[in-house]
Amino acid sequence: MPAENINLVIFRTLPSYSGRLKVLFKYNLLVGRVAKRQRGCLTVIKMPSFKRVVHYVVKSERRFQFIFYLAVLLVAINLLLWGAVPLRGRSPIVNVSRLKLAYATILTSSEADHDAYFLSARILNYQLLHANSTSTTSLTPFLILVTPAIPFWKRKILANEGATIVEVEKLHMEGMTPLFERWRDMMVKLRLFQLTEYDRILFLDADTFLLKSLDGVFSDSAGKRRQTKSVTEAMVDEAALPDSYLFATVPEVRSTVHSYPPLTLPYFNSGFFLLSPSIQLFNYYISLLDLKGRFDTTYPEQNLLNYAHRESGNMPWSRLSYRWNINLPNMNDVKKGVASVHSKLWTDGNILQPTDPFLVESWKRVKNEMEIFYS
């Protein structure tokens, strides 16, 4: 039977077009022919050599494999970016591409001995917004909450250097006995929770010094809103809790002599925390100010927040990685790659808690860079 007739029988007897084409292709490979569809009918054409047919098959197979693997790669990247595929041993990364973010600190006093904090706030502003090695790459603003005591000239300098100035009123608490009188003003940090035009705010004390960019902290797996629990009975003299909240920070470090990562404590320092503003949460905090003895006021806002977000309560705090910030740092923390440190680097510290000389010199170097940048 002629080859053309064999092709015709195969084409008519097999049920599907794809099945027909496969059989025809295999058959015609043996006789040096290849089948193709042209204008609604099947045409058999003579191939000059078997080698050319094999070349066509291999080339088509490679093209298919390339497209297939490219599609798989694009799907995997998409799932990872949206946090749908957990990384091994870690929680999904938080996607913050559509959230309004901000960095923030506070300035509450204009006394002469607080000029160091004003200078430190300027350096922090420079590092967050302008310095090549530490600045935000996502145009995240830096908010500085100031009380009426901060004079206009200081506000103007900070604003001209890129900071967003937000004036707020102080918060008062009857019977407060802070360790230092100036710590009364630290309650101003609670005003951050009123800034509901932002989805996430990273608060840093003015004496924070950056070694790397902090943009990644907003995507930390601990930076997710959590549902409020009901493990303990609600206190009738406290305001109602919100249905969900976000409060994430790093555990306290009590000494410059520590390992990396430091020993994890069930207590945090309020000099570095990630929050999601909420009026209901703010009202809950304010309700605690009128409850004498509910928390120790030696460290006013710090102990209030530790009480509100105690691990045994209904709104436990989430733990950020130590890689983002360490209080009372040492040189080993720097070598391990910590992104920021909480320390008064314009001083040498004291005998019990000395400031690392490398960090002091780094602070002075960045201060000089800042002055050249603004000159």
- Cβ atoms < 10 Å from Cβ of 176: 14
Tell me what pLDDT residue 52 has: 57
Taking the CA atoms of 358, 360, 363 and 367 in sequence, report the sign of the dihedral they define: negative
Higher pLDDT, 311 or 17: 311
Q: What average pLDDT score do residues 351-369 get? A: 95
Q: What average pLDDT score do residues 65-72 get? A: 74
Q: pLDDT tens digit string along 211-251?
A: 999 999 999 999 999 999 999 988 999 999 999 999 999 99
Residue 178 has pLDDT above 60, yes or no: yes
Mean pLDDT across the chain, nearest whole number? Answer: 84
Q: pLDDT tens digit string along 95-131?
A: 777 899 999 999 998 654 568 999 999 999 999 999 9
Question: Predicted confidence band at 352 (pLDDT cuts at 50, 70, 90)?
Answer: confident
Tell me what pLDDT residue 304 has: 97
Higher pLDDT, 46 or 375: 375
- Cβ atoms < 10 Å from Cβ of 55: 11
Domains of the chain, by residue range, sit at 3-81, 101-374
Question: Predicted confidence band at 182 (pLDDT cuts at 50, 70, 90)?
Answer: confident
Question: Predicted confidence band at 56 (pLDDT cuts at 50, 70, 90)?
Answer: low
The predicted model scores a pTM of: 0.75
DSSP string, 259-311: -SSPPP-S-EEEEEEEE---HHHHHHHHHHHTSTTSS--SSHHHHHHHHHT-T
Helices and strands (DSSP H and E) totals, the chain: 9, 14
Tell me what pLDDT residue 53 has: 47
Question: Predicted confidence band at 19 (pLDDT cuts at 50, 70, 90)?
Answer: low
pLDDT > 70 fraction of the chain, expressed in percent and rounded? 76
d(CA 353, CA 342): 13
What class does CATH assign to 101-374? alpha beta
Cβ atoms of 145 and 158 closer than 8 Å: no
Cβ atoms of 301 and 189 closer than 8 Å: yes
Q: pLDDT tens digit string along 257-291?
A: 999 999 999 999 999 999 999 999 999 999 999 89
Residue 17's SS3 state is helix
Higher pLDDT, 75 or 225: 225
Tell me what pLDDT residue 109 has: 81
d(CA 24, CA 59): 19
Closest C-alpha to 249, from 199, 309, 192: 309
Residue 199 has pLDDT above 90, yes or no: yes
Residue 98's SS3 state is coil
